[in-house]
Amino acid sequence: MITDRDIAMRGLADDWRVDQVTVWEVMSAQIIPCFEDDSVE
């Protein structure tokens, strides 16, 4: 999965060129879901 945060933090912050990077290089490798009744701890 790729998010707007992935694009901003990995793509833009590292000054990657959009035409030279793949989604695989920018996307989150491990997704950790949370739900409204989960603790923040």
pLDDT of 36 reads 93
15 Rama class: left (phi>0) / alpha (psi -120 to 50) / beta: left
Please state the φ and ψ torsions of residue 33, each to the nearest 5 degrees: -80, 155
Residues 12-40 pLDDT 10s = 777 777 788 888 888 888 888 889 999 98
- Average pLDDT (2-19) is 78
